[in-house]
Amino acid sequence: MLLLLVGIVILHIAALVLLFVSTIVSAWVVNPASSSDLWINCNTLNGVTKCDTANTGVWIQAVQALMILSIIFSILSLFLFFCQLFTLKKGGRFFLTGAFQILASLFVMCGAIIYTVMNSNWVHPSLFYGYSYILAWVAFPLAFISGLIYVILRKRE
Amino acid sequence: MLSVLALTSVVLLGIASQCTAISVYTNWEKHVQVGSDVRLSCSFFSWHWTSAEVTFSWSYRPDGAKESVSIFHYTNGAPYIATKGPFRDRLEFVGNPNRRDGSIMIRNVDYNDNGTFTCDAKNPPDIMGHPSNVRLLVFEKVPVQAGVITGAIIGVVLGLLILVVAIYYLMRFLVARRVFSLSMRHGKKGKGKEGSQQRQAGPSK
């Protein structure tokens, strides 16, 4: 029982860490000379790195908002899990925790989809997708599975 | 004792009114679309009452130029617009000096109007202060400011979440109150029936 609990919490935290890294690290689209992400664009010329703030279009702001919302909902879900662990009666399901985690995964999915479809507006054609972008796509099924486990799980004593 | 207190307060007020300066407030930047009108607001804070000799002075320095030209002056209760400046027939005084507002309106802005506007306000005897600058940026299409839409989306979703939680707890509270009032009515009816049964049982014994 304890092993199961630890495993679920580790899965949840892994999804959360992926979300954090994906949102913060500047590697959504890269090429050998520059990297750009949701917040800044950096260029490296002759060893000198120059960064300036990203384009302020409507779509990139939507992606920023969705990534931040997914992080908030995942943190809320973790907090709710510990609350429900102590207050739920025996045999009850962690519906609320699972709902928040599934919502977080849906937000990441929407953000990644919007970025994929609309990034031709602000990204140079010579750039290709970096690891932050891939981590965002990996975080989506991870968070979704974690949420499903919470919904299916029943509390035992 | 009281006279000493009064004297100290008078002296302090006298010193204070000479140490403070007038503070002039304008925007930092103004983003406008070409062809529209822009209102450049300027207000000030001063420890003295607004006198009748309050003056407002606007000057303009185009982007890339080194010198600024004076475009507007308000003094002695009347506005004066520079007759040879770049805004001679496009400038209008829309401020209210009695409310410490010395704003001007520029109509039909063009790309040549990009530059820095400086507002200087003086409220005699309070004439010490720094003028304040506002930068005018003219765009073909005003771009969305960074973070506005992000904040709006996050705010709406979190607001909906809080609303749903509040409605859930309100429904639970209302249902609990209704159940409580129903149980009270049942309890009273039960007591009434018991009382009538006791009265019937009494005389038969």
Q: Are strands B29-33 and B132-139 parallel, antiparallel or unpaired?
A: parallel
* Predicted local confidence at residue A131, as pLDDT: 85
User: Are B150 and A58 in contact (CB < 8 Å)?
Assistant: no
Q: Is the pLDDT reported for residue B111 higher than 50?
A: yes
A118-138 mean pLDDT: 83
- Which of A40, A53, A61, A71 to mutate: most B Cβ within 10 Å? A61
Nearest alpha-carbon partner for B43 in B101, B119, B99, B95: B101
Nearest alpha-carbon partner for A19 in A99, A102, A79, A108: A108
ipTM (interface pTM):
0.81
B70, B82 Cβ separation under 8 angstroms: yes
Q: Is the pLDDT reported for residue A55 higher than 80?
A: no
Amino acid at B95: G
Contacts of A65 in chain B (CB under 8 A): 149-154
Q: Parse chain A into domains and list their residue ranges.
A: 2-27+57-152
Query: C-alpha distances in angstroms, A119 versus A70, A129, B152?
Result: 20, 11, 21
* Predicted local confidence at residue A126, as pLDDT: 76
Burial class (CB in 10 A: 0-12, 13-18, 19+), A124: exposed
